[in-house]
Amino acid sequence: MTDHLGLPTAAPGVAPTRVMTIAGSDSGGGAGIQADLRTFALLGLHGLVAVTAVTVQNSVGVQGFQEIDPETVAAQMRSVVTDIGTGAAKTGMLASAPIIDAVAATCAELGIGRDTATPLVVDPVCASMHGDQLLADSALDTLRSALIPRATVVTPNLDEVRLITGIDVVDAATQRQAAHALLDLGAQWALVKGGHLRSNDESPDLLFDGTDFHEFSHARIDTPHDHGAGDTLAAATACALAHGRSVPDAIGFAKRWVTRGLQAAYPLGAGHGPVNPLWRVGGGSPD
Ligand code: PXL
């Protein structure tokens, strides 16, 4: 049986498809692991978690974070994957070079990533929407050399593209150039998210595997409450990949999921509210 988004619905007592996030905690509940788990659950998947860092943050910014030691990050991944298993994985905030090294090595050990049966979505989180740094500058080389080569698909926004490839994406030609550069680093597919690239109402994202370009244009949802949108896109992509969808299919699905979540986004605190996958279960009281 499938639902209105074309995803399988679970039968009672039957274990749902599993998907793992390797990411940081957001105390405000809108981005990071919390965003991933919201999307996983509302798409009917069982979420597994390897925490990389605990951020202290609210709707106005990130006040600080504490990293988890790399061995503990690796141990979480090993523990759940060897026992429970996962259909796909995604990375978010990884904070430091030693954590990236541990995640990349453990993905290799567990058979996660490009050219394996378990796809890996690498969302190369570098900073929060407020500009608070979430990845050490010294970690960029490790991101390029150790993790991106393991990615089934890497999903940078324009700021992350600039940091990773040095390319300033200003138009369709430089967006294509950036996609080539990400594949040169070893990713199987690259999604260069357009963000505010082509003004006003369009937000074209460009997906490339070295052969075909796929463009995803969706109406821009004009809301200040888009905290966690990138995380949610990567999380929904991982869910669709765990269900065996192709990468272009998974990205198309994830774009529709995020667009719906942005349409339903709500204010929270004094700053930016989160993208909202809760639309799917309504907002009523439990009685
Ligand atoms: O949205 C990127 C992101 C990912 N992970 C964590 C974050 C943020 C943005 O603030 O806090 C933990």
Per-residue pLDDT band for 282 (boundaries 50, 70, 90) equals: confident
With the most atoms of ligand 1 within 8 angstroms of its CB, the residue from 90, 93, 126 to mutate is: 93
Distances (CA, A) of 144 to 39, 185, 208: 27, 6, 18
Alpha carbon of residue 12 to chain centroid:
29
Ligand 1 centroid – CA 129 distance (Å): 8
Q: Which fold has domain 20-281?
A: UDP-N-acetylmuramoyl-L-alanine:D-glutamate ligase (3.40.1190)
With the most atoms of ligand 1 within 8 angstroms of its CB, the residue from 26, 52, 132 to mutate is: 26
Convert the pLDDT of each residue in 11-64 to its tens digit.
788 899 999 999 999 999 999 999 999 999 999 999 999 999 999 999 999 999
Give yes or no for residue 203 having a pLDDT over 70: no
Query: Which residue owns the Cα nearest ligand 1 atom 1?
Result: 228
CB 57 less than 6 A from any atom of ligand 1: yes
pLDDT at site 195: 81
Domain parsing of the chain, residue ranges = 20-281
CB 276 less than 6 A from any atom of ligand 1: no
d(CA 136, CA 20): 23
**DSSP assigned state of 188:** S
pLDDT at site 217: 87
Convert the pLDDT of each residue in 112-130 to its tens digit.
999 999 999 999 999 998 8
Per-residue pLDDT band for 10 (boundaries 50, 70, 90) equals: low
Ligand 1 centroid – CA 13 distance (Å): 33
Closest Cα to residue 151, out of 209, 204, 83?
209
pLDDT at site 141: 97
Query: Which residue owns the Cα nearest ligand 1 atom 10?
Result: 128
Which one is predicted more confidently, 45 or 6?
45
Ligand 1 centroid – CA 242 distance (Å): 23
CB 32 less than 6 A from any atom of ligand 1: yes
